[in-house]
Structure 1
Amino acid sequence: MPRVLVSDKLSPTAVQIFKDRGVDVDYMPEVGPDKEKLLSIIDQYDGLAIRSATKVTEKLIAAATNLKVIGRAGIGVDNVDIPAASRKGIIVMNTPFGNSITTAEHAVAMMFALARQLPEANASTKAGKWEKNRFMGVEITGKTLGVIGCGNIGSIVATRGVGLKMHVVAFDPFLSESRASELGVEKVEFDELLARADFITLHTPMTEKTKNIINADSIAKMKTGVYIINCARGGLIVEADLVAALKSGKVAGAAIDVFEVEPAKESPYFDLENVVATPHLGAATTEAQENVALQIAEQMSDYLMKGAVSNAINMPSITAEEAPRLKPFVKLAEVLGSFVGQVTEEPIKEVEIVFDGATAQMNTRALISAALAGLIRPQVADVNMVSAPIMAKERGIMLSEVKRDKSGVFDGYIMLKVTTPSMTRTIAGTCFSDGKPRFIQIKGINLDAEVGQHMLYTTNADAPGIIGLLGTVCGQNGVNIANFQLGRNRPGGDAIALLYLDAPFPEDVLAQVRAHQAIDSAKRLQFDVGLT
């Protein structure tokens, strides 16, 4: 039974979901802020469910010897060292949709609060003053709203802006013209948004490209009297630059829900009357808190119990419905990669993965990750589907993918083409109705070979006596052959042999095979993918 630690405050209903789905769960929200305690027990768990209080550092990940999945109940994963988790093969999930509406509504509320100076007016009125002339606001209607980041939350804010009769311009490198038209917004470049917007709202994740995106230079390109709303991430704004602009009047007001350092017990924003500040309330509604807690419990349970992957930051998604059908082909892709990884001794420069027929309609991202894991594992034993794409990129391996309609007798197959400085190697395979992977082509030579845990692979010129040679050597040394497959490209041309063995091929016997003049090369292979 997989075991999960909930180290932050989560809904009791979420904890019950783990239990109902067969997961052993420990609810210990006091452990999240206690770094040393968490470090001392993390190796006992397969999953870690968190919010924002728990900091999943590289040190914690190194100690998490059994951890398979980290689930963040919420959208932000700034408190998780994702590269470290990926290198360790740990899936990191979040819930990007659970609090989208709530955060978007908070951004719109902050915009209204700025436009009508509501917090200051409220405080003044409650203090017994009646300063009606002091709090002169501005209308929202007819103004230009600039949305930086038009994903889940930004697109909701954009449609709310359209509903408020604002003209909405959006900057997002991934926003298509058709999607912009569907939302009723105008897609623009970053500098144009800065120049045109009366209100600017931030809804982009925190990355190296977006960090400090609002700074002295970008503020200088804005209209005088602009209003800025940030309910995304504190690091998107250089706080000192915005404070200076607020003091000078270049920026008329700012609404800040997120800060560079949280909790923000002190900030230069707090001394300014034209700043509305809230304590990271974007997702703070009863509905949102419940939604993200339930979602992360369901996602983590589905992965630990069924192998389904959803909303993962560092892993292709695999739905619970497609997991059973995809599983045999994930195994196949890993076997193909493993074959090439074991027989290739030179550095790999390029990998092309061809998906033919039915496989082209599958979740090819998952299949690619599996193939890369198999390819790299002979050199890096602890690689898996999560860490493999990162390791391939670090090694400078160029990756390409080809999808095509059915082109042969098989309903679908996968082919790997691997290029080294001196050669290109190809291998193809498929899965039959029994779900077991089979090799159907190696080096352009067709064959039908069952995959076994222990195998011997030889190449030679097509000539009489090879079957007898291999059979004799194995018989004389007590090596039992479970299956024997041959293939050639033409009579007298290149030929290959694949032997499925009951046990690993002994090293001294391998030396005998290699020493024979008829054998060009011989490799013993092992496939550790749950095969029997």
Structure 2
Amino acid sequence: MAPRVLISDSLSTAAVQIFKDRGIDVDYLPDLGKDKEKLAEVIGDYDGLAIRSATKVTAKLLEKATRLKVVGRAGIGVDNVDIPAASAKGVIVMNTPFGNSITTAEHAVALMFALAREIPAADASTQAGKWEKNKFMGVEITGKTLGIIGCGNIGSIVAERGVGLKMRVVAFDPFLSPERAIELGVEKVELEDLLKRADFITLHTPLTDKTRNILSAENIAKTKKGVRIINCARGGLVDEVALRAALDSGHVAGAGFDVFTEEPANANPLFGHKNVVATPHLGASTSEAQENVALQVAEQLSDYLLKGAVTNALNMPSVTAEEAPKLTPFVRLAELIGSFAGQLTEDGITGVRLEYEGEVSEMNTRALGAAALAGLLKPQLDTVNMVSAPVMAKERGIAVEVMRREVAGTYDSLFRLVVKTPKLERSVAGTVFADGKPRIVEIKGIQMDAEFQPSMLYVTNKDKPGFIGRLGTLLGARGVNIATFALGRTAAGADAIALIGIDAVADDALLADVAKLENVVQVKRVTF
């Protein structure tokens, strides 16, 4: 029986034809995604679901999707898909991360021009027959400073366009290497410096806990008077209420927004201001981009349903059927090791070394490396996956080195990740035991044996008597239950590490209390 695919959002008809040409039964119902009750009634009949942004793939919908194997999002954002729920149901979630990059970058540049020359207001005035030539006094782009927050795939395209427009381009991105910045012709700066210097600020970063309200009231106040702010990335990156106040006061000269905290945006604090240009999430809305992402998602879903090939998956590694049984536990290990290192790393990453020892060195290390990079970049780039991680690392100038040693040491297989920043070099190593569970066996050369837990505390300290007791007493007093406790040290009385699995995510107050303990050097919250 041929697989069945439902397209519940508006996609190019070329995508429908691809499914038909590949022998897949396809139903094109572009308005169904807006009706969650009707969608829930029929979803159980389909093996694949192709969507854009209107369809909400919730845990409730997935309960009804008894046959569903794969969801394909035509575009990069998957805010409308409950990925943990999909993973729990065994449903693969794919996206098309690079199909609309140029289109979105061009829209940001278009909004910059519209703000600089007050084009929307001048158009409305002229078409009303007013001919108010002296009213609309714009500013030149040439020679101005363009500040880019997030210089990845889309941000780097905007940077190149800005350089071509003879602008001075500065970029804030922890993952942008000095070498990549030179290649793009931009100056890498810290956020505070960008806020002070930029005449135009454009955002091109995903929405994560670290980037939410990155332009807060406090940061907007630090901007140069007369700045113009553009957001074609994600609603929630800018405090819209604070921005409206800054527009009203005249501190911010204008804002061009294509995305909003609440969408569809029937009302918004920015609406109605004479110096705001607003568009209804048109960043990816060109015929070329729509065609590209539609064709990509159709090919990806077809390849998976017919051949089992996994491409651009957000919740599953790209592994062949033959490799899966032996490789999958090590893919998980590599991703967890990467995530652990990524959460501990605060500075920009300049290089990564992936080391494979013993039996693992003969496996598909490309998949393992991609999983490690995805885990490493995930804390900063929420939509990164195994397929896009190597590309994103390259875009940011992160040098990736691979070392293989076929001779096994203490363990039959060992994977070690070494992360390099301008300030330090940190290594984390792990293995998979016979029980199939991944473990950390070494941090910064210190031997230990620690299982990964959903919530953990990473503590570095001086090895002095009484420390473990004081730490345990503090956690007990705060009502924090310890699940696992792993220790290691370089030598008696020297540097030591404690890795503690706890039953709840550590809050900031707990971290502060642990940091105050005698002999504590550093404490970090780590979650998986």
Other-structure match for 1:148:
149
Other-structure match for 1:406:
406
Which residue, 360, 363, 367 being the options, matches 2:367? 363
Other-structure match for 1:275:
276
CA positional deviation for 1:426: 4.8
Alpha-carbon distance between aligned partners in 1 of 2:175 and 2:68, rounded to the nearest angstrom: 33
Alignment of 1:132 with 2:127, yes or no, is no
**Could you say what secondary structure the match of 1:32 adopts?**
helix
Other-structure match for 2:103:
102
Deviations 1:278-334 (A, max 9, x none): 11111111111111111110111112222222222222345xxxx4xxx32322335
**Could you say what secondary structure the match of 1:296 adopts?**
helix
Other-structure match for 1:91:
92
For 1:331, the aligned partner's letter is: P
Other-structure match for 1:180:
181
Q: TM-score, normalised by structure 2?
A: 0.65
Deviations 1:97-136 (A, max 9, x none): 1111111101001000000000011111111112111111
Q: Which moved more, 1:28-37 or 1:81-90?
A: 81-90
Other-structure match for 1:46:
47
Q: Is the 8 A contact 2:330 2:432 kept in 1?
A: no
Alpha-carbon distance between aligned partners in 2 of 1:285 and 1:180, rounded to the nearest angstrom: 29
- From the CA coordinates, give the structure whose radius of gyration is larger: 1
Alpha-carbon distance between aligned partners in 2 of 1:173 and 1:337, rounded to the nearest angstrom: 26
Question: What is the correspondence of 1:207-218 to structure 2 with a 5 Å cutoff?
Answer: 207-218=208-219
For 1:14, the aligned partner's letter is: A
Question: What is the correspondence of 1:241-320 to structure 2 with a 5 Å cutoff?
Answer: 241-318=242-319
**Could you say what secondary structure the match of 1:281 adopts?**
coil
Alpha-carbon distance between aligned partners in 1 of 2:316 and 2:235, rounded to the nearest angstrom: 26
Alpha-carbon distance between aligned partners in 1 of 2:71 and 2:318, rounded to the nearest angstrom: 15
Alpha-carbon distance between aligned partners in 2 of 1:131 and 1:314, rounded to the nearest angstrom: 55
Deviations 1:434-490 (A, max 9, x none): xxxxxxxxxxxxxxxxxxxxxxxxxxxxxxxxxxxxxxxxxxxxxxxxxxxxxxxxx
Q: Is the 8 A contact 2:330 2:368 kept in 1?
A: no
For 2:413, the aligned partner's letter is: M
Q: Is the 8 A contact 1:231 1:256 kept in 2?
A: yes
Other-structure match for 1:375:
none
Alpha-carbon distance between aligned partners in 2 of 1:139 and 1:355, rounded to the nearest angstrom: 61
Other-structure match for 2:33:
32
CA positional deviation for 1:187: 1.1
Alpha-carbon distance between aligned partners in 1 of 2:368 and 2:47, rounded to the nearest angstrom: 26
Question: What is the correspondence of 1:411-422 to structure 2 with a 5 Å cutoff?
Answer: 415=413
- Relative to structure 1, the CA distance from residue 219 to residue 2 in structure 2 (aligned partners, 3 Å threshold; closer, same or farther) is same
- Relative to structure 1, the CA distance from residue 152 to residue 307 in structure 2 (aligned partners, 3 Å threshold; closer, same or farther) is same
Alignment of 1:328 with 2:329, yes or no, is no
- Relative to structure 1, the CA distance from residue 226 to residue 328 in structure 2 (aligned partners, 3 Å threshold; closer, same or farther) is same
Alpha-carbon distance between aligned partners in 1 of 2:362 and 2:54, rounded to the nearest angstrom: 45
**Could you say what secondary structure the match of 1:252 adopts?**
strand
Alpha-carbon distance between aligned partners in 2 of 1:337 and 1:246, rounded to the nearest angstrom: 49
Q: Is the 8 A contact 1:158 1:185 kept in 2?
A: yes
Other-structure match for 1:220:
221
For 1:69, the aligned partner's letter is: V
Q: Is the 8 A contact 1:316 1:365 kept in 2?
A: no
For 1:183, the aligned partner's letter is: L
For 1:407, the aligned partner's letter is: V
Give the alignment's Cα RMSD to 1 decimal. Answer: 3.0
Other-structure match for 1:231:
232
CA positional deviation for 1:427: 5.3
For 2:51, the aligned partner's letter is: I
CA positional deviation for 1:356: 4.1
- Relative to structure 1, the CA distance from residue 308 to residue 227 in structure 2 (aligned partners, 3 Å threshold; closer, same or farther) is same
CA positional deviation for 1:365: 5.6
Alpha-carbon distance between aligned partners in 2 of 1:84 and 1:428, rounded to the nearest angstrom: 26
Instruction: Work out the percentage of aligned pairs sharing the same amino acid.
Output: 68
For 1:328, the aligned partner's letter is: E
For 1:206, the aligned partner's letter is: L
- Relative to structure 1, the CA distance from residue 210 to residue 263 in structure 2 (aligned partners, 3 Å threshold; closer, same or farther) is same
**Could you say what secondary structure the match of 2:322 adopts?**
helix
CA positional deviation for 1:197: 0.8
- Relative to structure 1, the CA distance from residue 358 to residue 223 in structure 2 (aligned partners, 3 Å threshold; closer, same or farther) is same
CA positional deviation for 1:245: 0.5
CA positional deviation for 1:336: 9.4
**Structure 2 unaligned spans of 5+:** 333-355, 373-384, 387-401, 416-430, 437-528
CA positional deviation for 1:425: 8.3
Q: Is the 8 A contact 1:329 1:367 kept in 2?
A: no
Alpha-carbon distance between aligned partners in 1 of 2:139 and 2:19, rounded to the nearest angstrom: 49
Q: Is the 8 A contact 2:48 2:71 kept in 1?
A: yes
Alignment of 1:194 with 2:195, yes or no, is yes
**Could you say what secondary structure the match of 1:206 adopts?**
coil
Q: Is the 8 A contact 1:336 1:428 kept in 2?
A: no
Alpha-carbon distance between aligned partners in 1 of 2:84 and 2:146, rounded to the nearest angstrom: 35
